[in-house]
Structure 1
Amino acid sequence: MAVGNIYLIASIAVIGGGLFGFDISSMSAIISGDPYRCYFSHARNPNGSCPGPNSSVQGGITASMAGGSWLGALASGFITDLLGRKKAIMTGAVIWCIGCIIVAASQDVAMLIVGRIINGLCVGICSAQVPVYISELSEPRLRGRLVGTQQWAITWGIMIMFYICYGCSFVSGTAAFRIPWALQAIPAIILFFGMMPLPESPRWLARKDRWEECKAVLTLVLGKGDPNSKLVADEFAEIQAYCEFERQNADVTYLELLKPHMINRTHIGLFTQIWSQLTGMNVMMYYITYVFTMAGLTGNNLLVSSSIQYVINVCMTIPALLWVDKWGRRPTLLIGAALMMTWLFANAGILATYGSPAPPGGVGGIPEASWQVHGHAAKAVIACSYLFVASFAPTWGPVSWIYPPELYPLRVRGKAVALSTSANWAFNFALGYFVPPSFENIKWKTYILFGVFCIAMFIHVFFMFPETAGKQLEEVEDMFLDPNGPKNIGTLAWKTHVGQHAPRREELVEKVEKLRRTSQTEAVHEKVEEV
């Protein structure tokens, strides 16, 4: 029997997001350890210590997962349209297990990169389709909270994996990194079997003309088993109306997203994910040990201090889950950008004023730790890093996953969110590769770069990102097609607000009948033209 509790459905599905979190901290906790640095080192220092892979190689290792995720996200658009949201996520879980086997058994850098690319395919599929799956099953008042649990799962994955890696750091030899990389397969196994009793997306079923199954899922999830529920009737009528309207556009390609009536939404979805990367948050997650090494932390102090930000990340995501549907998407993104900009510029100023170049070879023999700071200034850098994480966690973290699935009509939603998520991974790849050399070469100016990005995203959100909180997915379509707004833009972003107009069932039924008559009239005209 299928599971109908939406909270249980979301809690299982977002394990797919947790896989990305496992990957982040498995690298950040391991790259500073001697077993990893010696096993994958390109050379040894004169004193016998291991410098590890050089900055370019380490950037390539870290970025390889994001490269695979970019490809997986794009492919997920086709997979989900063909197999459904549920089976696409299950496919990703199988791919993750294969990648974990290769990564845990890695004999050299090349094998490690191949395994991480395969892992990335899974992360790309799941990160793109889990938000779509949950958003299409949720009622509007809960959608932000439930989709936002994807980010919460990521934060839990980061924290759990970091402490696993910390525990394994006391293990001698290559087991120190092979054990954590192998254990990453466990949540994917749970995800695969946990998805089996969950229902398919009702909107995907409707697109496939499986109307009885669609209504059964709505009854199970929204009606709590009551087929006469008003919420079920309204949702079903709304889905019918838009499926009838879209029936003439059954075959959708990515080119549909570039047409004039869609290009505005496409660019908003893309930049939601691009800006979430350009905040610099994942850089902080991957390479926080480099930053804290510059601040003079070493050994267990380094790992324990780094782990505090992961705890902050988990705890500070909770307010967004509770109140993001009341706050709205726009204010949350604007406040997050302003706060992160503040802490980034503060770190740059502290490092520039009170820091100094590190000795040749970097602090502790780590070339990326090319700058050093001591005393109260070092504590300030650590504090600003924590505050940065606390600002990202309830803002851009969850909203970057919540927002894109709300922007698009049903016929293109799978591919559109896949394209948006692919932008996330393209920039994740670029930044993962870029940051180690940037720490080595431009040092504290790296923080200025990300601070400027935060200014740009604040301006962009204010003028171009409309409010979608509290609206039915189909109602968002009407907002973008508002004839009173600029052509191909709809209602001006700063004039939108949280809330929805809940149409009466009679209005929805009338809309269905009108669209059906329009469709039949068009079909008659086509026959006449053929004759």
Structure 2
Amino acid sequence: MLRKTPTGTWIPAWVPESTATLSVLLLICSMVQSATGGYDGSMLNGLNILPSYTDYFKLNNATTGLNTASVFIGGFFGPIWAGVMTDRLGRRPAIFWGSVVTLLGIILQTAAQNIAMFVVARIILGWGSAISSVAGAVYLSETFASRYRAWGVGILNNFYYVGSLIAAGVTLGTGQWQSTWAWRLPSLLQGIFSFACIIVLPFIPESPRWLVSKELYEDARLSVAQTNADGDVNDPVVVAVYKEIIDTLEWEKKNGMTMSPMEIIKTPTARKRTLIGASVGPFSCIAGNVIASYYLGNELDTAGITDYNDQLKANVVLNVWCLFCAFGGTHLAAVWGRKPTALLSQSLLIVCLFIIGGLSKMYADNPDGASQALIYGDVAVMFIFQGIYSIAFTPLLYLYPPEVMNYPIRANGLALVGFSLNGLALLLTFVMPIALTNIGWKTYIINGSWDIITLILIAVYWVETKGKTLEEIDAIFEGEKHSSVPDIEDIRTGRKTVDVTQIELELHEDIGLRKRHEA
């Protein structure tokens, strides 16, 4: 059964009464958001291998980089508006408009007649994707019950590889075509994910945190109930979560915190939260995955795999492998912790990069005399590298930042993550084919060296957020929790109990006083 649910926005909602069903819909929203980006990366990977694409646009190293990296130009500027849109319009409307802009870019990209049109289309596509990604990460982190958050938000990036796999299969299938539809059809099919996201939006509630910030208290309580207890607003966990949200947002308001973009640097604590949360984007981008994500063909060339059909098949296998690793990493982040998972992954990435660099050098020194064992060994380590990357950075990219950032800075902080990530990705996707062509194996050695610095920064500065609600994480940064209710996980598991009647009285008094004060 569906229940008409107020959202405080122009997009209505008819939400399932079953929390399990609603969780599935939230997961679908997460999946399709993620799949758009993954499809794009793998599609360009495939297109950069296809003669029908490279010959049509008469590409060289510079224009290949421009065509590929142009999506990050839009991704670079999109976050400038994403945070403000997400805070002012609501989480769901921001996702909607981001998806609409993405669809527009996809249509133009499919119809591209020259490099200029293709580049403009990808800028628009990147702009829309950046908005919906920021809004999606904020929305899902605030809406999922805390016990589901690691999986629910981790999947927001895990399904990058589902999109990648679909695109790899599509480009492999169309790769034998002799017309421009060999690359136009894969481009057109990219729009399926944004369209699916728009269809799901009317069946999921608005973020309870956003609703409380707009003083829509009963609507917020219903949203909490729908995502935690099959719509039972009197459930002890629901009452405690609702009280925790109200108390924390009230404390932030009393301490002068606003939704301004400047809030992310206003205080030492805000700056610390922002730097830790925003570090995930740059760290994930400079880890070394950009090479295989967009230039697998170039990477395989350095290892001696030069047949484009073999490269397309390798693209398919790579995405299946990375998908399994991403799910394994999400499980580790949920049960072991975010920071330990990141440290393990980063350490192994460094080892892999130096091995890839060494093997690629051996091939470059004697390509004609290189053994098959050397070639396949190099490719195997490349695949292992991508899998290890997927263990941590794929789920953590959108899971960790909104956990570290509190409500006043969450949307604009996530926008900063997107801004920095796309800025670096724009640079790296443009220069990587040039670097691989000119310095070859040394690219991997340089990449591995700066990854050592990243490992040290994670070890020293990152904090652990496993098993806590977004409000309970405040204690790590502020030194105290801003609500009197016990931790939610203790209530849910029965280690502690709450007096629902007493909390109801406190809520009634607090909200009543607040309304009288504002009147």
TM-score, normalised via structure 2 length: 0.88
**1:106-151: per-residue Cα shift (whole Å, max 9, x none)?**
1111110000001001221122221211111122222111111112
For each residue in 1:250-305, what CA deviation from the matched residue of structure 2 results, as whole angstroms up to 9, or x when unmatched? 64222211122211111111211110001111321110111112323203222112
Q: Does 1:304 align with 2:289?
A: no
Contact kept in structure 1, 2:137 and 2:153, CA below 8 Å: yes
Separation (CA, whole Å) in 1 of partners of 2:100 and 2:132: 11
CA distance in 2, matches of 1:14, 1:464: 30
Rounded to whole Å, the distance in 2 between the matches of 1:353 and 1:38 is 32
Shift of 1:12: 2.2
Structure 2 equivalent of residue 316 of structure 1: 325
Unpaired runs of 5+ residues, structure 2, are 1-13, 481-486
Q: What is aligned with 1:31? A: 48
Higher mean alpha-carbon deviation, 285-294 vs 502-511, is at 502-511
Pair 1:278-2:295 in alignment: no
CA deviation after TM superposition for structure 1 residue 375, in Å: 2.4
Give the aligned partner of residue 333 of structure 1. Answer: 342
Amino acid corresponding to residue 138 of structure 2 in structure 1: V
Q: Write out per-residue CA displacement over residues 485-507 of structure 1, whole angstroms, 9 at most, x where no aligned residue.
A: xxxxxxxxxxxxx9977686469
Contact conserved, 2:87 with 2:259, CA < 8 A, in 1?
Answer: no
Q: Amino acid of the residue matched to residue 391 of structure 1?
A: I
Question: Does the 8 Å CA contact 2:350/2:451 hold for their aligned counterparts?
Answer: yes
Tell me the CA shift for residue 308 of structure 1.
Answer: 1.2
Matches within 5 A, 1:80-229: 80-229=86-235
In the alignment, is the contact (CA less than 8 A) between 1:207 and 1:243 conserved in 2?
yes
CA offsets 1:172-217 (integer angstroms, 9 cap, x no match): 1211111111111122111111112111111111111111110111
Q: What residue in structure 1 maps to residue 426 of structure 2?
A: 429
Asked whether the 8 Å contact 1:237–1:505 carries over to 2, the reply is no
Aligned pair 1:253/2:260, yes or no?
Answer: yes
Structure 1 unaligned blocks of 5 or more: 42-52, 360-371, 484-497, 525-531
Give the Cα–Cα distance (whole angstroms) in 2 for the partners of residues 145 and 373 of structure 1. 44
Which residue among 474, 477, 482 is the counterpart of 2:479? 482
Change (3 A) 1:304 1:231: same
- Quick check: 318-327 or 141-150, which moved more? 318-327
Alpha carbons of 1:194 and 1:516: their partners in 2 closer, same or farther (altered >3 Å)?
A: closer
Partner of 2:28: 11
Relative distance call for 1:139 and 1:271 in structure 2 (3 A) is: same
Contact kept, 8 Å, 1:294 with 1:373, in 2: the verdict is no
Q: Is the 8 A contact 2:84 2:261 kept in 1?
A: no
CA distance, structure 2, for counterparts of residue 244 and residue 340 of structure 1: 43
Equivalent residues of 2:326, 2:395 under 8 A apart = yes
Supply the AA of the counterpart residue of 1:255: M
Amino acid at match of 2:297: T
Residue in structure 1 matching 2:357, options 323, 330, 348 = 348
- Structure 1 length-normalised TM: 0.86
- Mapped to 2, the partners of 1:97 and 1:406 lie a distance apart of 29
User: How big is the shift at 1:31?
Assistant: 0.9
SS state at 1:2 partner? strand
Gap change, CA 1:419 and 1:107, over 3 Å in 2: same
- Name which of structure 1's ranges 350-359 and 246-255 shifts more when overlaid on structure 2: 350-359
Task: Output the CA distance in 1 between the equivalents of 2:489 and 2:15.
Answer: 30
- Matched-pair contact (CA < 8 Å) for 1:292–1:306: no
Is 1:408 matched with 2:405? yes
State the alpha-carbon separation in 2 of the partners of residues 385 and 379 from structure 1. 10
> Which residue does 2:273 correspond to in 1?
265
Which 10-residue stretch deviates more, 374-383 or 501-510? 501-510
Using the TM superposition, name which of 270-279 and 450-459 deviates more.
450-459
Question: Does 1:293 pair with 2:301?
Answer: yes
Q: Is the 8 A contact 2:291 2:299 kept in 1?
A: no
User: How far apart are residue 76 of structure 1 and its match?
Assistant: 0.9
1:233 pairs, out of 229, 239, 246, with 239
CA deviations over 1:12-62 (Å, ceiling 9, x no partner): 233112110111011000112111111111xxxxxxxxxxx2212211211
Note the 1:44-63 alignment, pairs <5 A: 53-63=59-69
- For the residues of structure 1 that align with 2:261 and 2:31, how far apart are their CA atoms? 26
- Paired position in structure 1 for 2:5: none
Q: Whole-Å Cα distance in 2 between the matches of residues 452 and 139 of structure 1?
A: 39
Aligned residues: 485
* Structure 1 residue 344: Cα displacement: 0.6
Residues 101-110 or 134-143, more deviating:
134-143
> Whole-Å Cα distance in 1 between the matches of residues 478 and 510 of structure 2?
20
Q: Distance in 2 between matches of 1:512 and 1:428?
A: 49
Aligned-residue CA RMSD (Å) = 2.6
User: Which AA in structure 1 matches 2:474?
Assistant: E
Letter in 2 for 1:236: Y
The one-letter amino acid paired with 1:275 is: F
Deviation at 1:374, TM superposition (A): 5.1
Query: Does the alignment pair 1:243 with 2:249?
Result: yes
Pair 300,227 (structure 1): closer, same or farther in 2 beyond 3 Å: same
> Matched residues in 1 for 2:260 and 2:475: separation?
22
- Which digits, 9 at most, give the CA deviation of each residue in 1:362-421, with x for residues without a partner? xxxxxxxxxx96522111110001100111112121112110000122122111111122
Q: Write the distance in 2 (CA, Å) between the matches of 1:130 and 1:452.
A: 33
Amino acid at match of 1:8: L
Flag the 1:300–1:179 CA change in 2: closer, same or farther, 3 A. Answer: same
Taking the aligned partners of 2:410 and 2:339, their CA distance within structure 1 comes to: 21
Equivalent runs, 1:438-453 vs 2, <5 Å: 438-453=435-450
Selected match of 1:77 from 80, 83, 87: 83
Matched residues in 1 for 2:15 and 2:406: separation?
Answer: 27
Give distance in 2, aligned partners of 1:295 and 1:35: 24
1:465–1:512 Cα change, 3 Å? farther
Taking only the aligned residue pairs, the percentage that are identical comes to: 27
Q: What is the rounded CA distance, in whole Å, between the counterparts of 1:244 and 1:504 in structure 2?
A: 24
